[in-house]
Amino acid sequence: MELLIFYPIAGLCVALALGVILNTSPVGSAMCLIGMMLGLAGIFVLQQAHFIAVLQVIIYAGAIMVLFMFVIMLLNLKQAASADWVSRDKNLYITILTSALAIGILYKIVDVTFMADLDSPAELPDTFGTVATVGESLFTDFVLPFEVASLLLLAAMIGAVVLAKPKLD
């Protein structure tokens, strides 16, 4: 039954991911990416990771894609701009090298996946991955990372202002 939901969502994700790279218009690519993010959120729900699914929707599909769209609109790319780097002599060697590397890594990943002992996943408690469970452990055992994360966000905000504000001084 789970698989009945998993395969359509996974198929949709792969199709949309292909859409991201094959689309000639940047806005189209971005839209496909949003769709893919939402699909991934569905897969996370299937994995009992409800909180991650929520994050996926709020942060990725919501906030980060907004920034993507802004950047696309800021640049206002014309479709022809992408033709410039289609074929150069140097690219051929890079293509061959990277494909060899990619095939090697893929082989190893498949190899690893088959070798790994995936038959007996540990028994999970019913509440695993729910927002309440995540909240409890985040705010008791992981207090320190939580507070340190706010310093990280502070640093990021200073960075955004210092590097991106049009007039600083």
Partner 1 sequence: MAEYFYISLFAVVALVVIGALLALSTLLGPRNATPQKLLPYECGIVPAEEAKGRYPVRFATIAMLFIIFDVEVVFMYPWAVALGELKLFGLIEMLIFIIILGIAYVYIWGRGGLEWD
Partner 2 sequence: MEPIHAPESIDLIALAPVLVLSVFAMGVLVLDLWAGKNKTLLMFVSLVGLLMTAISAFAKHPLPAFAFTDSYIVDHLSIFFTCIFTLSSALAILLSAEYNERKGMKAGEYYALILLCTVGMIVLASSTDMIMIFLGIEIVSICLYVLAGFRRDDPVSNEAALKYFLLGAFATGFLLYGMTLIYGSTGSTNLFKIAEFIKAEGAPSSPLLLMGIVLLVIGFGFKVAAVPFHMWAPDVYHGSPTPVTAFMAVGPKAAAFAAFFRVFTEAIPNMAANWEILLCIVAVLSMFVGNLGAIMQTNIKRMLAFSSISHAGYLLIAVIAKSAMAGSGLLFYMLTYAFTTFGAFGIIILLGRKGEENLEMENYSGLAYKHPVLALSMTVFLLSLGGLPPFAGFVAKFYIFSAAIEEGFVTLVIIAVLNSAISFYYYLKVVVFMYMKEPAGEFQISMTPMTLFVVIIGIIGTIELGIYPDPIIALTGLN
Torsion of CA 82, 83, 87, 93, to 10 degrees: 0
In single-letter form, the type of residue at position 69 comes to M
In single-letter form, the type of residue at position 36 comes to M
The answer to whether the Cα torsion of 102, 44, 39, 132 is positive or negative is negative
How far apart are CB 159 and partner 2 at their closest, in Å? 4
Print burial letters for 129-150: b (CB count within 10 Å at least 16), e (below 16). Answer: beeeebeeeeeeeeeeeeeeee
Specify the residue, 90 or 165, whose C-beta has the smaller distance to partner 1.
Answer: 165
Does 78 interact with partner 1 (rule: CB under 8 A)?
A: no
CA atoms within 13 A on the CB side of 23: 15
Does 80 interact with partner 1 (rule: CB under 8 A)?
A: no
Q: Which stretch binds partner 2 (CB under 8 A): 2-10, 73-81, 86-94, 143-151?
A: 143-151
Choice from 15, 96, 106, 149 touching partner 2 (CB under 8 A): 149
Site residues for partner 1, window 27-66 (CB under 8 A)? 51, 54-55, 58-59, 62-64, 66
Which residue is associated with the tokens 């496909």?
A: 32
The answer to whether the Cα torsion of 147, 149, 152, 158 is positive or negative is negative
Using CB distances below 5 to 8 A depending on partner kind, what does residue 103 bind out of partner 1, partner 2, none?
none
Which residues sit at the interface with partner 2, rule CB under 8 A? 111-112, 115-117, 122, 136, 140-145, 148-149, 151-152, 154-156, 158-159, 161-163, 168-169
Which residues sit at the interface with partner 1, rule CB under 8 A? 1-2, 4-5, 51, 54-55, 58-59, 62-64, 66-67, 70-71, 73-74, 76, 131-132, 134-136, 138-140, 143, 146-147, 149-151, 153-154, 156-158, 160-161, 164-167
